[in-house]
Structure 1
C-alpha cells in the first residue's frame, strides 16, 4: 500500500501525473525503446514508470530533479525487463516471436525510415548498452556529464571514457563495420 503523500494533495496528484505524462511521455518511451528495441515493451515500461511515480509522489520533497528521477526509474525498469527470464525466453530465444511479429513498422521505426538520420540512429542502437546509454543521454537528451554521472551512478571520468569509446565505435559502424571486437 502506498504511503500517504503529504507533498501533493490527493486532488492534485492526478493533475501532477497528467502533466508528467504530457511533458515526459515521449522522451521516456524513446529512452525505453533504446534499451528494449521493442516499441510495445517500451510503452509498457513507461506506463509502469508513471504508476510508480503516482505511488511515490510522497518522495517529491527529496527529489532534486524530477527529470533525472524519471530517467532513473525508466532505465532501472528497462534493465529489469532485460534481466527477466520472460524477456530472455520470449524475446531473445524464441524464433516463433520473429514469425508472429507484425510486419507493419512501429511508429518509431516509421519515423526512422523517413528520416535522413536513419543510418545514424540504427548505428546508435547497435552500440553496446554501456555506450548507447551515455550517447543517448548526452546527445539526444542533452544532459551534461555531471547529470549523466549522477543519473546512472558512474564516475565522471568513466563516463567520459564511455562517451569517447562510444563515438569511436559509432564512427566504425558508420564507416561500414565494427573492426574492434572489444
Structure 2
C-alpha cells in the first residue's frame, strides 16, 4: 500500500494507517522529550495533522519515518519554548513506552522496573538539547547522520550533546546509587 501516494490524494484511511504504523513510536519520542504524556499526545496529534496537509513537501517517500520524527521533534521544541514548566506537578512513568522483550521472573521484573524508572527519571532531568539527543539516539535508534539531518545541526554538535548527556546521566545514576547505598 502506497501510504504517501494515498495521503497526497487526501485519503483519510491512509492517515489512519499512518497513525497505526507510527503512532506509538512518535508518542514514545514525544513523551521522552516533553516529560508529559498529555502534551506529548497533543504534539503527536499536531504532527499527524501537519503531515496530512503538508505531505506534498515530503521529497522522498522512503524518508517518511524521519520526516514524521522531524515534525514531532519540532512540535516538542515549540511546546518546550512556550510551556511554563514550573506548573508541572508530576511526570508519568515511562515503563508503558518501553517495550518488554521477554518475560523475566519476579525478581528480575522488580530490578528492571527500578532501573527503568531511575533511567527515565534521569533522562527527564537533562536539559532539553541533551534529552533530545539521548532520546533520538538510544530510544529511537537514530544514528548521528540521521540526527544531524533531522535536527538541522552539525554532526559535531550532536556528538557533543550525546557525550555531555551521557556524562550527566552517568553522574546522576551514580549519585542515585550512592544515595540508595547510604540508606
TM range (shorter): 0.7 to 0.9
Give the direction of change, closer, same or farther, for the CA distance of 1:58–1:170 in structure 2 (3 Å limit): same
| TM-score calculated relative to the size of structure 1 | 0.75
Task: Give runs of aligned pairs for residues 100-179 of structure 1, distance below 5 A.
Answer: 106=92, 108=94, 115=113, 116-176=115-175
Secondary structure, in 3 states, of the residue corresponding to 1:143?
Answer: coil
User: Structure with the greater relative contact order (CA < 8 A, sep ≥ 6): 1 or 2?
Assistant: 2
Distance of 1:39 and 1:75 partners within structure 2: 15
Q: Give the structure 1 partner of residue 41 of structure 2.
A: 43
Give the direction of change, closer, same or farther, for the CA distance of 1:74–1:154 in structure 2 (3 Å limit): same
Which of 21, 38, 41 is residue 23 of structure 1 equivalent to?
21
In terms of mean alpha carbon deviation, does 10-19 or 156-165 score higher? Answer: 10-19
Q: Give the number of equivalent residue pairs.
A: 160
CA RMSD in angstroms comes to 2.8
In terms of mean alpha carbon deviation, does 107-116 or 162-171 score higher? Answer: 107-116
> 1:11: how far off?
6.4
Q: Is this contact kept in 1: 2:33–2:76, CA < 8 A?
A: yes
Q: Give the structure 1 partner of residue 32 of structure 2.
A: 34
Secondary structure, in 3 states, of the residue corresponding to 2:153?
Answer: coil
Gaps of 5+ in 2: 99-109, 177-183
Give the direction of change, closer, same or farther, for the CA distance of 1:81–1:37 in structure 2 (3 Å limit): same
Distance of 2:131 and 2:163 partners within structure 1: 12
Q: Is this contact kept in 2: 1:8–1:57, CA < 8 A?
A: no
Distance of 2:78 and 2:31 partners within structure 1: 14
> 1:7: how far off?
4.4
| TM-score calculated relative to the size of structure 2 | 0.75
Distance of 2:38 and 2:13 partners within structure 1: 25
Q: Is this contact kept in 2: 1:7–1:58, CA < 8 A?
A: no
Q: Is this contact kept in 2: 1:29–1:46, CA < 8 A?
A: yes
Gaps of 5+ in 1: 1-5, 178-182
Secondary structure, in 3 states, of the residue corresponding to 1:117?
Answer: helix
